[in-house]
Structure 1
Amino acid sequence: MTTNSTYTYQQIARAIEHLTANFREQPSLNELADKANLSEFHFQRLFTEWAGVSPKKFSQYLTLEHAKNKLRSGAPLIDVAHESGLSGTGRLHDLFVTIEGVTPGQFKQAGSGLVLSYGLFDSPFGRYVLGAINGKIALLHFLNDVDEPETILKIAWPEATLRNEPDVIKPLADQIFPVMGEFSQLPTKPLPVLLRGSVFQLKVWEALLKIPEGQLASYDQIAEAIGQPTASRAVGTAIGSNPVGYLIPCHRVIKKTGLFGGYRWGSDRKQAMLGWEAARVDQ
């Protein structure tokens, strides 16, 4: 992923924002290209290169009806309720993600002396900071213009010593996002993720891994899956505090009405992810 990919996403994101707000009116190619500050020809080419589908096809993935259909045909998340323990392995799009969960109490007992290596990288959804502890991904946070990466890392892992070592964790970053247009690219080895949270949070985050790429789940479905069907509001709070964006796919949870709802890293980015994943599944 090159630095140019972040600029590409910024251009595409402006068009997606307009497309999402006006999909019922089916904005013209010229209208979308104007939002991206590109000619129609270059916008069509750039958008198709980024998404794998045309802007018109992408807009179909952002409709309310499409979202409702995906909710109805979602994965059997209730199976998660029958699994014991906090740790497990889930298949996530074309990646294997292995979770290790620790509660704050457990972490406090063994938290001293930890080193958190981090670096800044580009993705199809903009720039992000990636942090790892002992070779395990401990944070993936998408950045906006005012974010301070070290502040974000310190809030998430206050006891850890920070080291700016992008070369050390680049092998992890290289496995997270496929190269632009390489929809069949597979990882070379499992991606280990270290999550620090309450027992309830860990159960919610683990449940998210059961949502296949291209599918959606509601907050109620996640609550039911963890065996607490009346806790949908608490589930929403736990989802909103997910420290590992994209890999723990909180972007795949939407309202039961089919509306996409908010997202920790911006609703436009959430919609970009959902449309991008839908296009990958259709390949």
Structure 2
Amino acid sequence: MTDYERIEKAIYFISAHLHSQPGLDEIAAHLHLSPFHFQRMFCRWAGVTPKRFLQVLTLERAKQLLRDSKSLLEVSDSLGLSSGSRLYDHFVQLEAVTPGEYKIGGAGLSIAYAVHDTPFGPAFIASTSRGVCQFSFMQDRTLAVHLADLSCKWPQAVFYEERQATQAIIDAMFGMAGRPDRPVSLHVKGTNFQVSVWRALLHIPPAAVVSYSQIAKAVGRPNAVRAVGSAVGANPVALLIPCHRVIQQGGKLGGYHWGEARKHAIHAWESARYEGFAPEEAAQAEYSLF
């Protein structure tokens, strides 16, 4: 079992027992680990203590984040990111295919793909010469299934496996190569409405959240909340287009195409990097949930 699989199991347990505020011993026992080893593993992976993670999951915190959300239409030159930040969502450049390109289904395009390990489990990534066109977690699906999905979107394109080029994108996404020296480009295919929603998502700062209704207002369709939900769910590039930052109006995280536990994990991971809680602090944190 990988560290992420253990973390995922812990997240399911914590989420299911929020009402009883489980202690470190109880969570560790569920994973058949000693409290000491569970605490070290959790801090190494998430950059926060289990106690801090439990705070991330609370409904009141989510409600406060929603109250603090700024207009998605407000473009800021500075998002207040620390030098240790791991994601650079404001450094993402999105390009949508033209109607003519949409019609020919990727004819003349070569698309590189590969499967890479990430902090949230193995992921499938594909990229054209113009940018990332798909990023999806493997879940329990095979490579053939992911390739079939890609082929449905780009039926006339040529696909080839290329680990070196795609590894560079993974390194940029998760901060393994330092700050990118150029925007991470996305090359997406969707309806005008879907693309407008995806562009709005790019304006949500890391570790922040917004509601579906806020997205609807931002794209000029305040009554299209359900349509916004469908567009968010159709996001072809997980993480870089941060659909995980959209939650229910009441503060609950809600569903996620790649699993609710993974959504919780991503929120905690971002919070560790953008809310002033440094990973080294977690590593030295007191051996206790409380």
Shorter-chain TM range is 0.7 to 0.9
In the alignment, structure 1 residue 236 sits paired with structure 2 residue 218: no
Q: Cα offset for 1:135?
A: 4.8
Who is 1:196 aligned against?
189
Who is 1:61 aligned against?
56
Instruction: Rate the CA distance shift 1:142–1:110 in 2: closer, same or farther, 3 A.
Output: closer
> Aligned runs of 1:1-283 on 2, under 5 Å?
7-79=2-74, 93-95=87-89, 96-103=91-98, 105-109=100-104, 111-148=106-143, 149-179=146-176, 185-283=178-276
Q: Cα offset for 1:109?
A: 4.3
Instruction: Rate the CA distance shift 1:20–1:105 in 2: closer, same or farther, 3 A.
Output: farther
RMSD: 2.1
Who is 2:287 aligned against?
none
Deviations 1:78-97 (A, max 9, x none): 448xxxxxxxxx99943410
Which segment is superposed worse, 147-156 or 126-135?
147-156
AA at the equivalent of 2:246: V
Q: Cα offset for 1:17?
A: 1.0
State the alpha-carbon separation in 1 of the partners of residues 226 and 23 from structure 2.
Answer: 38
Which structure 1 segments of 5+ residues have no match?
1-5, 81-89
For the 8 Å contact 2:105–2:153, the answer to whether it is kept is: no
Who is 1:83 aligned against?
none
Instruction: Rate the CA distance shift 1:104–1:29 in 2: closer, same or farther, 3 A.
Output: farther
State the alpha-carbon separation in 1 of the partners of residues 261 and 8 from structure 2.
Answer: 7
State the alpha-carbon separation in 2 of the partners of residues 36 and 163 from structure 1.
Answer: 39
Instruction: Rate the CA distance shift 1:34–1:112 in 2: closer, same or farther, 3 A.
Output: same
Q: Cα offset for 1:141?
A: 0.5
State the alpha-carbon separation in 2 of the partners of residues 147 and 71 from structure 1.
Answer: 37
Percent identity, aligned pairs only? Answer: 42
AA at the equivalent of 1:69: Q
State the alpha-carbon separation in 2 of the partners of residues 36 and 246 from structure 1.
Answer: 27
Which segment is superposed worse, 47-56 or 246-255?
47-56
For the 8 Å contact 2:59–2:251, the answer to whether it is kept is: yes
Deviations 1:227-275 (A, max 9, x none): 0100000000000000000000000000000011111111111111111
Deviations 1:160-198 (A, max 9, x none): 21101112322112111124xx9xx42232101001100
Which structure 2 segments of 5+ residues have no match?
277-290
Q: Secondary structure of 2:2's match?
A: helix
Q: Cα offset for 1:53?
A: 1.2
State the alpha-carbon separation in 2 of the partners of residues 156 and 39 from structure 1.
Answer: 47
State the alpha-carbon separation in 1 of the partners of residues 74 and 52 from structure 2.
Answer: 33
Which segment is superposed worse, 70-79 or 108-117?
108-117
AA at the equivalent of 1:259: K
Please, what TM-score do these two structures have when normalized by structure 1?
A: 0.88
Which segment is superposed worse, 62-71 or 106-115?
106-115
For the 8 Å contact 2:73–2:200, the answer to whether it is kept is: no
Q: Secondary structure of 2:45's match?
A: helix
